[in-house]
Amino acid sequence: MANPEEEEEEEKYESFLSRVRRTVYVDELTPHASKSVVESAFSQFGTVKDVIFLPNYLGPKELPTGVLVEMESEQTAKAVIETVSQFPFMVAGMPRPVRASAARPAMFSDRPKKPGRTIQFRWVDPSDAEFDKAQRVKRLVRKHTAEAAFMIKKQLEEAEELAKQQSETVTTHHKKFEMIDKLTHDRVAQELAGRYNIKCGPPHR
Amino acid sequence: MEAAAAVDEGLEFKWGKQKGIGGKKKDVRFYESFTFDGDEYRLYDCVLVADPSEPDSDELFVGKIIKIWEHTNKRAKHPRQVKLLWLFKPSEMPPGVVEGVPELLENELFLASGEGPGLASVNPLEAICGKCSVLCLSKDERNLQPTDEEIKSTDFVFRRAFDVGSCKVLDTIDDKISGVDVKFIFNRAGSTSKKEATPPVLKIQLDVNGSADSLTPNGLSACGSVRSTEDNSNEASDCRESSSGRREGKEKFADESSNKDSSVQQSTSEHASSEASGSRGDHYDGKAQDNEVRKQFTKQKSMPAEERDSNSCEASGSKKLFTKQNSMPAGERDSNGLDERPQKKQKLDGSAIVSNGRNTNILQQSVSSDGKRDTCLFKRPREKVTGGESPPENLKKKRDLGVSVSEGKDAKTGTGKGLFKKPSFDGKLSKRSEEKIVEIDYRRDYQVTEVTPKPDAVNSKWFRPLPWEESMREAEKEEKLVLLQNLDPTYTSEEVQDIVYSALNEQCTARMIERTSVSFSHIGEALVIFNSRQAAVRAIRRLDEGCLLLSNGRPLVAAFAKINPPGKPSSPFCGHIKLQKTQPRRETRDTVSTSRGSQPNTLEFEMGMEWRLLRARSDHALETVSKRQLEERKTQRINFKPKLP
C-alpha cells in the first residue's frame, strides 16, 4: 500500500530534480529588476521557461536578489552558466555583473519531499546529559545566525565602497572626456594645437 | 484488520489461558486472561476505559471484565473483545439519585446490577486504557474484607449497587449480576491489582455542563447496547461496537479527523464507523471503524458536529444520529476545543461514528507522536520507555491519540495544549498548564517518535489559503510569525509543517526559506505562521525551554521573526551607475535597456571585473566562516537516539 504512494513520490521528486538541473540560479541581481527584464536578458541564450524570484524576507533590503531561471534543457542551462562566468554579464544596469550557478533543490520553495525520508524527533529531558549539549547547540545556532548576518552586512558595505569608488572613477573619466569633447567641439583644441605646432586629435565633428 | 495487525505489533498482546470455544460457527474463542501492552488482565479484573464522547476529558469509566473472547474469522473489525460490567461513578448516575445516597465516599463506585441497558457492554479489547483496583467494601460475609491499608491504596471502592432497570441504589449486591456469580464481584484473594493509573486524574469532572448531564440520563436510560446476553452469537455479529453505547447519545469519534486525505495510514478508518451509537442499538453497522487503532469505545458519544467541522462535514450530518446530545454542539466545540489534543490520552480514536453507514472520514492520521501518548497519565511509565524501542510507526499508530479530533479543532483553537491533561473549563490556558506542558515535554524524552504528516488544516477545505506573502505579513503584524532555525536545509515546507504539528501539536503553515549563496548552507530556516499569537508564544517557549531534537541531531531554535517591509529598496542598486550625459550616447542607452556581456576592451568590462573580484573575496570569507561554523557544530554533535537509563 505504501508502494504506489512511494513510487509516486519518487517520480515527483525525479521530475523535480530534472527541473532543478535545467534551472540556473542567478545572483547579484538588482532588486529593481522585473521579471520581463530578466526573461529578455536570458532569452539570448535560449528559451526561458520560467523565472522565479527568490524572496528576501529576512535579509537587509539592499541585498541583491537571486533569481531562478528555468531554461529549456540542461545544456542550455549549462551554457548560460559558463558564459556568464566567463564574461561579465550585466542585467538591467551596469557595471555590476550577475553571477550564475547551477540551482540546488534547496532553492525551490515549492519542492516536493524527498522520498523515503522520515523525520523523527524527540524531546530531551532536562536531566538527560544531552540536554545541556542541546542547549549549547541552540546557542551556537543563534551565534551562527548572528555571524551570518554580520557577514552579509560586511559584504554590503564592501560592495558599497567599491561602487562608490567605481562611480567616482567613471565620473572622473567622463568629465575628462566631456571636457575634451567640448574643447574639440568648440575648436579650442585645434587652435591650441595650431599655436603649439602639435597635431590635434580627433577629427572635427 | 490492518488495524488489528498494527495493534499487535505495537502494543504487545498475548492471550492467556483459553477457556473454551463457542460462536455460531465455532469461530470464537474465550479466554481467561490476556496480556496487553505489558499488563496482564484476568477475568473479573477492573479496567479503565475512556469516554469516547468526551475525548478531552480525563474521565474514564471503570468496568469489570466479565468475558473475553476473540473472533477468529477475519471479517470482524475487532476480533478481540471484552464484556465489561460497569461500575458507575457518582457523576454517571442519573441526577437526583446520587444525592439521596448517604455517606458517599470520595472514590466510591456503584456496581451496575439488575437488568436493562447500561449494565454491561462489549468493547474491543484495545479500548482498555489501563487497569485499576477496585475494592468491595460490602459487609457481606462472602466478601473478603479488605484491610485498611488496602482501602487506602486502592483506586476505587464500591459497596452499593445501582439497578439499571429501576434506577435505584441498592445496598445489597445480588447473587448473580449479568450472569456473573457474585463471588467474582466480591474481593477475591489475590485479585486486587496494584493500580498504576493515577486516580486523581480520574476525578476530573467533565467540564462541560451539558455533557455531564447528558451523559447520565441518556446513558442509562437508553443504552442500546446493553448486552445482557452474552452470547457468542451476539458477539459474533459485528455489532459489538454498537453495543457499547452506554451513552448513546453521542457518537464519538475521536478520530474524526477531518480531512485527512493524507495521512492516511489508516486504511480502515475511512469507513465511518457506523457504529451505531448506542443509542438504539439497532443500528449496527458493524463498522467499527477503527481508525486504525483504536480503541473503540463503548460509550459512544457522538461528537458534536464540531468535530467535524473540519471534516468535511458531511459526516456531521450523519453523526448526529441519535444523539441527543448534541447538547454540545456549539458549546462543546469550544469547550472541547480546549482539549483538543487530549485525546491523547485515550485512544478514542476508534470511536465509531455513528453515521448510519455513512462514511466519515477519518481519522486522522496518525497523530503524531507517541509522545502525546505519554501525557496520558494512565499510561504507565513503562510505555514511555518502550516507545524508544519499538518501531515508531507502530507506536504512532497504536496510540493514536485522538489527535484526530483535534484537527478539527485546530483551526479554531489555538490552545494546543495537547499535552495538557486537565482542560480548563473556560478554555483559557492557565499558567499551570503552560508549565505542565513544558514538563510533559521532558517526560517524553525517551520517545523517539516519528513525525507524521499533519492532517490538513481545516481551513483548506473551507476557503482558499491566502498567498503566502500576504499571510506572512499579516502574521507578522499579529505576532504569529515564528522563525524556526536549525532545520536541515533539505527539508520542505510540508515537512516543517508536519514537524510542528507532531511535536508541538500546533497547526501551522510554513515555508522554508530558500538557500541562497548569501545564507549559510548548513542552517535551514523556515518561517512558520501559527494560528494565533498564543500558539506562537507557546511554541517558542517550549522550544526554548525544552529541547526538541530532530533525527539529524539538531535541536530546533525558534524566535519571533522580523521580516522586511514589502516593496523594493529605496536606493538604487549599488553598483549600477548611471552617467549623466550631455549627449545621449548610444551605448548608454543600450546599456540600460538591454543586458549583455561586455567586451574586454571597454571600461565596463574592467569595472565588471572589479566587482567579480570583490565577490570572490567575500565568497572566500564566507566560506572560511562557514567552515569554522561547521567545525563548531561537529564538536557539539548530539546523540539523537536516547541512551536508556
CA distance B413 to chain A (A): 24
Residue B321 to residue B123: CA distance in whole angstroms = 20
In terms of Cα–Cα distance, which of B340, B348, B335 is closest to B417? B340
Indicate the SS3 state at residue B110: strand
Q: Is B420 a residue whose pLDDT tops 50?
A: no
Residue B596 is predicted with a pLDDT of 61
pLDDT recorded at residue B246: 40
Instruction: Give mean pLDDT, residues A87-108.
Output: 75
- Under DSSP, is residue B253 helix (H, G, I), strand (E, B) or coil? coil
Q: How confident is the model at residue B79 (pLDDT cuts 50, 70, 90)?
A: confident
> Strands (DSSP E) along B178-296, which ranges?
180-181
* pLDDT value, residue B431: 42
Instruction: Indicate if the pLDDT at residue A25 is higher than 80.
Output: yes
Q: Which residues on B lie below 8 Å from A106 (Cβ)?
A: 489-490, 512, 514-515, 521, 524
In this predicted model, which residue has the larger pLDDT, B405 or B179?
B179
Q: Which H/E stretch holds residue A122?
A: strand A120-124
Choose the closest CB to B575 out of A55, A96, A133: A96
What residues in A contact B493, CB-CB < 8 Å? Answer: 109-110
Among A30, A107, A124, whose Cβ lies nearest the Cβ of B515? A107
The pLDDT of residue B446: 45
pLDDT the model gives residue B509: 74
Amino acid occupying residue B451? V
**Does position B343 have pLDDT exceeding 70, yes or no?**
no
B interface test, pick of A40, A123, A138, A144 with most B CB neighbours within 10 Å = A123
Would you say residue A142 has pLDDT above 50? Answer: yes
- Grid cell 577629427 is found at A203
Nearest to B603 by CA among B617, B613, B588: B588
Task: Mark yes or no for CB contact B450/A163 under 8 Å.
Answer: no
pLDDT for A9: 78
Please compute the mean of the pLDDT values over residues B172-177 and round it to a whole number: 72
CA distance linking residue B319 with residue B357, whole number of Å: 10
Q: Are B573 and A93 inside 8 Å of each other by CB?
A: yes
Using the predicted structure, report yes or no on whether residue B481 has a pLDDT greater than 80: no
| Whether pLDDT at B604 is above 60 | yes
Q: Are B296 and B78 in contact (CB under 8 A)?
A: yes
Minimum Cα–Cα distance from A104: chain B residue: B515
Q: Across the interface, do A106 and B489 touch by the CB < 8 Å criterion?
A: yes
Asked if the model's pLDDT at residue B618 lies above 50, the reply is yes
pLDDT at B6: 37
Taking an 8 Å cut-off on Cβ atoms, the answer to whether B451 and A156 are in contact is no
Q: What is this model's ipTM?
A: 0.80
Nearest to B253 by CA among B122, B344, B349: B349
Mean pLDDT throughout B83-92?
84
Q: What is the mean pLDDT of residues B50-76?
A: 74
* pLDDT value at residue B595: 56
Virtual torsion, Cα B601, A169, A41, B616, nearest 10 deg: 90
Does pLDDT of B92 surpass 70? yes
B190-245: pLDDT as tens digits: 544 443 333 433 333 333 343 334 334 443 443 333 333 434 444 434 434 344 43
**B:393-452 residues touching chain A, CB 8 A cutoff:** 441-451
Interface of B with A in 489-508 (CB under 8 A): 489-495, 498-499, 502-503
Per-residue pLDDT of B443-479, as tens digits, reads 444 445 555 555 544 444 344 444 666 777 777 777 7
Residue B563 clears pLDDT 70, i.e. is over it: no
Question: Quick check: A123 pLDDT over 50?
Answer: yes
H or E element in which residue B442 lies: helix B431-443
C-beta separation of B608 from A94 below 8 A: yes
Query: Comparing C-alpha atoms, which of B314, B418, B322, B321 is closest to residue B362?
Result: B314
A81/A68 Cα distance (integer angstroms): 12
A73: closest CA of chain B, how far (Å)? 21
What is the CB neighbour count within 10 angstroms for residue A157? 11
Write phi, then psi, for B67 (nearest 5 degrees). -160, 145
* pLDDT tens for each residue of B253-294: 333 333 333 333 333 333 333 333 333 333 333 333 333 334
Give the closest of A32, A66, A120 to B551, CB-based.
A120
pLDDT of amino acid B359: 38
Q: How far is CA B177 from the centre of its chain?
A: 36
The lowest-confidence range among B69-78, B208-217, B429-438 is: B208-217
- Judged by CB atoms closer than 8 Å, whether chains meet at A120 and B640 is answered as yes
Higher pLDDT, B2 or B49: B49
CB contact under 8 A, B546 and A123: yes
Kindly list the residues from chain A whose CB atom is less than 8 angstroms away from the CB atom of residue B571. 62
- The B residues from 462 to 481 touching A (CB cutoff 8 Å) are 469, 472
Per CB-CB distance under 8 Å, the chain A contacts of B518 are 59, 63, 152, 155
Among B347, B350, B379, B346, CA closest to B131: B379
The verdict on a CB contact (< 8 Å) between B550 and A120 is: yes
pLDDT computed for residue B400 by the predictor: 38
For residues B74 and B71, give the distance between their C-alpha atoms in angstroms, rounded to a whole number: 8
Confidence label for B572 from pLDDT (cuts 50, 70 and 90) = low
Tell me how far CA of residue A14 lies from CA of A8, B415, B581, B618, in angstroms. Answer: 10, 39, 52, 34
What pLDDT was estimated at residue B449? 56
pLDDT for res B25: 72
Indicate yes or no: CB of A88 within 8 angstroms of CB of B608.
yes
Residue type at position A29 = L
Q: Mean pLDDT over all residues of chain B? A: 58
Q: Give contacts of B492 with chain A, Cβ < 8 Å.
A: 111-114
User: What is the identity of the amino acid at A23?
Assistant: T
Residue B562 has pLDDT above 80, yes or no: no
- Chain B positions touching A94 (Cβ under 8 A) are 576-577, 591, 598, 604, 607-608
Q: Are the beta carbons of A130 and B638 separated by less than 8 Å?
A: yes
Measured between beta carbons, the chain A residues lying within 8 angstroms of B511 are 109
Q: Tell me the pLDDT tens digit for each residue of A30-58.
A: 777 778 888 888 888 888 888 888 777 76
Which of 505-534 (B) contact A at CB < 8 A?
511-521, 523-525, 527
With 60 as the cut, is the pLDDT of residue B614 above it? yes
Chain B residues close to A32, C-beta within 8 Å? 568-569, 572-573
Compute the nearest-CA separation of B533 from chain A (Å): 20
pLDDT recorded at residue B448:
53
Q: Tens digit of pLDDT for each residue in B511-537?
A: 777 655 555 566 677 777 777 778 778
Return the top range by mean pLDDT from A107-111, B118-122, B344-348, B380-384: B118-122
Kind plus residue range of the DSSP H or E element containing B156: strand B156-163
Angle at B258 between CA B255 and CA B260, to 5 degrees: 95
The chain A residue lying nearest B548, using CA atoms, is: A123
Neighbouring CB atoms inside 10 A of B257's CB total: 37
Q: According to the model, what pLDDT value does residue B567 have?
A: 59
| Confidence check: pLDDT of B367 > 60 | no
Smallest CA-to-CA distance from B482 within A28, A57, A36, A153 is with: A57
Nearest Cα of chain B lies from the Cα of A52 at a distance, in angstroms, of 12
- Which residue of chain A comes nearest to B566, CA vs CA? A57
